[in-house]
Amino acid sequence: MQVLVTGGAGYIGSHVVKQLLEETNHDVCILDNLSTGHLETVETLETIAREAGRGALRFYKMDLADFKAVAKLFMIEKFDAVMHFAASSIVSESVANPLKYYMNNTVNTAHLVSCCTEAGIGKFIFSSTAAVYGEPQEVPVKETTSTEPINPYGMSKLMSETVIRDTAVVNDHFDYVILRYFNVSGADVMASDAVPRIGEWHEPETHLIPLVVKTALGKRDSITVYGEDYDTEDGTCVRDYLHVEDLAAAHLRALEYLGLPLAQGDEPNIFNVGYGHGFSVSQVIETVKKVSSVDFAVEKGKRRAGDPALLIADNQRIENVLKWYARYDDLALICKSALAWEGKIDE
Ligand SMILES: NC(=O)c1ccc[n+]([C@@H]2O[C@H](COP(=O)([O-])OP(=O)(O)OC[C@H]3O[C@@H](n4cnc5c(N)ncnc54)[C@H](O)[C@@H]3O)[C@@H](O)[C@H]2O)c1
């Protein structure tokens, strides 16, 4: 197959491209405007493609908002499947600039979906998020838990889900898998010398594990814990931290699943991706201190609006239907790979 990966120069998309190149014979085409992704990541993926010697890799520096160029690309290339990662994903920015999120996430997704239906492409895999649940009504969170996003980022993703689902209802040949990711972290663990070749590289960074790792490496003076009075064992928020390699593997399972006749079933193809258990902010900090052997400064901060105490996936559906099982459910391993990667981008 020829797979289009939008956002393949970014954190999660690049790990999926890596697995496609190393574990399948599919050709991969990356579409990315490099707004938050990195050319260095694409170059590393080109090296990985050469070394793997399986499918080919092509890169188009292109903005999804350039509808003419995107439509033309669908005429030049014959895609069999689309994996759509490209998006804006900083919650606070979405609150300050909601239109950026509705345009880049929802409008551009709608256009991409229309290119797929025009070209007769039947396999569409979409990066969604636990943010669609807002402050969830139940934990662990099921796919059937009510979706009530509390910020424009979560809403822009839920609206994209709706576009995809409604399109599938009236287009027999268009099928989809929507993956709702929980807290993605860690970096490439397949490198032969154990130094990740790719990893999380956001500027600015807003996620806990890379921020703690940066603190351990002296790139930040301290790490702040926002709230120690939550109704959890140690009072700090608990999240379902998922290794990016396991998340990437879920996309490969989803692609296989879309090739099966049973993928056309009545149930929406929406799956949580998480481990079904979590760690607190304090546990993450302790784990990074342990794996780095650095005792860095920790500050106390006030609770932040919209931070639920617990956010944990019920992952029964993805295990039962996609036959996806975790391989790297190990917080120390996640933190170690994040630390090794962060040390590398330091150089
Ligand atoms: N990182 C997480 O923990 C997490 C959690 C839940 C969901 N997600 C979703 O996963 C996807 C990937 O996230 P990530 O962390 O890899 O983000 P990222 O910012 O590292 O990657 C996004 C990529 O998309 C590209 N892009 C953005 N807008 C584009 C446009 N208009 N045209 C072309 N390219 C564009 C960027 O340059 C970047 O390479 C996003 O859809 C995000 O909402 C991420």
Q: In a structure prediction context, what are the per-residue pLDDT tens digits for the chain, which is 347 residues long? A: 999 999 999 999 999 999 999 999 999 999 999 999 999 999 999 999 999 999 999 999 999 999 999 999 999 999 999 999 999 999 999 999 999 999 999 999 999 999 999 999 999 999 999 999 999 999 999 999 999 999 999 999 999 999 999 999 999 999 999 999 999 999 998 776 778 999 999 999 999 999 999 999 999 999 999 999 999 999 999 999 999 999 999 999 999 999 887 666 677 899 999 999 999 999 999 999 999 999 999 999 999 988 999 999 999 999 999 999 999 999 999 999 999 999 998 65
Q: Are residues 247 and 232 in the same domain?
A: no
Question: Domain containing 150: what range?
Answer: 2-185+242-273
173 and 213 in a single domain? The answer is no
Report if residue 199 sits inside a domain.
no
The verdict on 133 and 177 lying in the same domain is yes
- Least Cα distance to 297 among 233, 225, 202 occurs for 225
| CATH assignment at residue 281 | 3.90.25.10
Q: Which of 273, 291, 325 is the last residue of a domain?
A: 273
Q: 221 and 170 in one domain?
A: no
CA distances from 41 to 34, 66, 73, 301 (A): 10, 23, 22, 35
Q: Are residues 106 and 219 in the same domain?
A: no
Task: Give the per-residue pLDDT at 305.
Answer: 86
Please report which residue ranges of 217-280 form alpha helices under DSSP H: 244-257
**Residue 270 and residue 285: Cα distance in Å, rounded?**
32
**Tokens (6 digits) for 278:** 């979590």
Query: Are both 252 and 145 inside the same structural domain?
Result: yes
Of 324, 338, 80, 28, whose CA–CA distance to 187 is shortest? Answer: 338
What per-residue confidence (pLDDT) applies to 146? 97
97 and 138 share one domain: yes
Is residue 129 domain-resident?
yes
Q: Is residue 82 part of a domain?
A: yes
**Are 218 and 121 found together in one domain?**
no
CA of 10 to the centre of ligand 1 (A): 6
- Give residues with Cβ within 8 angstroms of 347, minimum separation 6: none
Is 41 in the same domain as 130?
Answer: yes
Residue located nearest, by CA, to atom 3 of ligand 1: 184
Residue 241 bears catalytic tag: no
Q: Which of 174, 178, 145 is nearest to 161 (CA)?
A: 178
As to burial, measured by CB atoms within 10 angstroms (0-12 exposed, 13-18 middle, 19+ buried), residue 46 is: middle
User: Ligand 1 within 6 A of 112 CB?
Assistant: no
Residue 88 Cα to ligand 1 middle (Å): 6
For residues 288 and 129, give the distance between their C-alpha atoms in angstroms, rounded to a whole number. Answer: 25
Q: Ligand 1 centroid to 45 CA: how many Å?
A: 17
Q: Are residues 181 and 214 in the same domain?
A: no
pLDDT at position 267: 79
**198 is a domain residue:** no
Q: Around 294, how many Cα atoms within 13 Å sit in the side-chain half-sphere?
A: 20
DSSP characters over 155-185: HHHHHHHHHHHHHHHH-TT-EEEEEEE-EEE
Per the structure, how many domains does the chain have? 2
Tokens linked to 326: 């975790």
Strand partners, 184: 242
Choice from 15, 35, 126, 161 to test ligand 1 binding pocket (greatest atom count within 8 A of CB) = 35
Tell whether 40 is covered by a domain: yes
64 phi, psi to nearest 5 deg: -60, -20
Residue whose Cα lies nearest atom 13 of ligand 1: it is 12
Q: How far is the CA of 64 from the centre of ligand 1 (A)?
A: 12
* Separation CA 227–CA 237 (nearest Å): 8
Sequence-ordered list of residues with C-beta below 8 angstroms from that of 229, at least 6 positions apart, any chain: 235, 303
228 shares its domain with 125: no
What are the strands, taking DSSP E only, across 106-163?
A: 123-129
Q: In this structure, is residue 194 part of a structural domain?
A: no
Helix (H) or strand (E) holding 240: none
Residue 201 domain-assigned (yes or no): no
Active-site choice (153, 230, 241, 257) = 153
Distance, in Å, from the CA atom of 313 to the CA atom of 140, rounded to the nearest integer, reads 5
Q: Whose alpha carbon is nearest atom 43 of ligand 1?
A: 89
180 and 280 together in one domain: no
Is 195 inside a domain boundary? no
Peptide bond into 210 cis (omega under 30): no
Contact 82, 124 (CB under 8 A): yes
Q: What is the CATH number of the domain that holds 41?
A: 3.40.50.720
